[in-house]
Structure 1
């Protein structure tokens, strides 16, 4: 089921409303739409009624225990927004109606409930709501049903499939749920394959990327590359829950926080403009990007602030200058002789916050494990013994729905920057920088965390007007469409930000930490800090370690085939330097 049951309600993890058309107001003042906030009575009423209906349905159709306090939706599915429509009548009276806009326009909770249950069910049958069309042949074969993705019922905690000594989950209650089994549809994969590699190390990627449709040789290549219908989702994923960012204190509009802003001078030698923070939650993405709001908890201060995207800065895009003497006097106070004069408490708080965040971003934490299983039909069809063995071994690797890598969360489908190859100056952007479009994230028993996917290169900016979009650049795939690369975690430089497209600072997160341990560094301080100086920590109102296990707006199941991205506008094969194929391993398949 596409739901997560938490202690305070039900979260929907599937939607058909992404990029849906939302109502707009014209020049008339007699009738207009107003976006309703989720805290308003109309929205809470809808969410409560839908939650009650869905909870009853889940009890009847799944192994779910949901109490009365949990019988409410935490949010509408992604891309669904509630509006109030106001109409001024000729007699001067005013009438209002409430509508839910998404894939369709729904007039009441009862009208939307069948569609909601269909979104949750993951079933291939048609939706029974009054708006979805009924297909001429709505029956599905058992073979198709067998290839469907099976997901374990979610609780307020994440559940491991099997004990994994390095997994991030702790104290997970035992359940009777089945292992997650993700089978790939063999009809979309070539029935035979061959693999070439300049490395003798075992290959650990699937033979074919699900990010790209197989291109028949009978159709023009350029037409196929531009034939996809998916729009890039990067603008909805600039910041995610649990990520560490810089908060512009001046944009918080909080007088107490603005008072903490100081400029560097001869007396203090340090400036404070941006404060480290952890994203606690994201507001629902509204039709306008500027409607997105983030709730961020400031490190050490444990103060929650809510602000828009423009008030946040990616962690790697800013680096404060803190004199070593200040760091030593604050963090290692018991090990050195203290000079006369006390450091201002505001500066002490800031140095501790930067220190904790810096220590946390040197770690990585995989999130939400599952097992990927190749279909037996697919394995039997492969003739190469080595390839057959590799496909069979896929089930032995733990795959992950997300990875907290340094300050950022990365997921399948993300576009991430690659560390430049054979470049003397790593801070200089190459003429054609390389990116990985992530397909899978998994842990190899010998090589550690690895990622698979397509390697893209970015060219010139084609459209220099209006808000920047991915398709405004020229993009091309730098390898054959039947190839896929395995990338070591250390070769991932970080997420790609549209607002900072030329960012070159790389992530250096080499230490594995369970997610709770990572967040404990931020909440309670580093071991060095706690052992050297008594820190008066303000008790946190919320536990960040719990909050950061959420995955915002999870994409569709990790096994599903995504369509070709529209922003790939050109195909230009480019032979990669084989000197580094020990780290970046290529797999080929041929039909």
Structure 2
């Protein structure tokens, strides 16, 4: 007689720190088995040794989730839900976590059948849960081993990893002594009930002890999340009589533009570069790319060009190259789009930690340190120095909250880029592809005596909504599914998505959309990678190639602020104004012109042709003339992170 099916109560992971890929020392790695480990091809002796992804509907996946769900409800819900302990299942692993099975067998015909819950016939079938943000070497080997981390994710509001008692977060903790084995009671499916208060999580056939994390006393200041966690819907908190998903997230309204530059930059397809930004720009006189500061931009009235920019080349303190004019966005690239090349002087190559302000430029120019091109090396070092700075601008209001002064700003120069309030930025969090739509830029000043925590320090936070790129099945392009949408998603993101779906839907039968993950959250400045750029403007070729190769359509993995210098995750040094951040890398007379007014003859810096100063040791056109392209290594440098166009699509 067939046994009746058991009805299970789903319980959901409230947030996750799982990552599909990780950046370790500037190298992006798959956070799971390597491609070689996934290869199922037997060796010459017919032996198999590989990993495979366990799907959600497979017995082993279900077995893990039933055990985790029961333990989680027992610890979070307590005795009130005792009747559900053996009928509860984790709906899915936290976002970013994947369960793999290691299959290892002898030569064909030699394998012995093994009785286990996965129904295997191999010598080894161990399961491993990947996704921990420290990389693929940090994996969980059993539900019992993962449960303390899941419990920490579900209950610790501070997201402080020091509060987690799992073996990875707390490798030095002492093992809790296991109780002496008792008489074996009659076992019920998956989890057994216990009388009295629960201090340990127990599974069928074992009595392991799970340590509950000790809470730190809460303080007035939220603790830094490193690495940061993100929510996954729905919540774990059980409600009387029912386990429910959390209420629908409501997006935060976007702030209105306050000036013409901000309004133009909020529109789609206007300007790639902004006044005050460091960019790569193409120099026709040398047919090479250089680095410079955007000092002005405008739309020409005569329609002779798409748009125009004045660029001040970066250089050493003894050079004042004139500004050059660029008349197309095709001749501009963001600083983070390419990895910085190595310097031309062997001396600077051998001393990569030297900063722009530490160089003896006079000795370098005199030939004391050998041969090279000072203008080129100075521009590279200047751009790296600027990458470690930030400058707030246009203070909107000042308020005091719990004794901390909070200043709200309309924008911030973050490294090489200009970021407005109300626009998207790229995050280091999760798998590195999430986007924060900024709704507040806040500078917090902590007063008090020197011995007080945070006293005399400044902290920068960006507040807003976190969105993740996601897709829905679209089997019929003429009848698309209803994807969540919001007018609070910036226009640039919506228009870029429309462009992507124009190719994505008919080719892959998938509809892309921006999924709201968290609303009105605060992100530390050091967790910001940089500006978000439209795939449809900068990465068309790579998007098309990714779709053709069935690799998804979430754009290209760009460099992050801090990659070029090796500093990585850091807020950087605050500068009083934007020009001060450049120091002697630009002439003292340099100033930024806001707005889009067309310059007259008096307003131009140099001649209309703007030939500029050649980056070479010979006249333009000479065979011996230096070109920056000769030294650019677009395959990446040791300290420079990912290159433009190289990376992963999701």
- TM-score, structure 2 normalization: 0.36
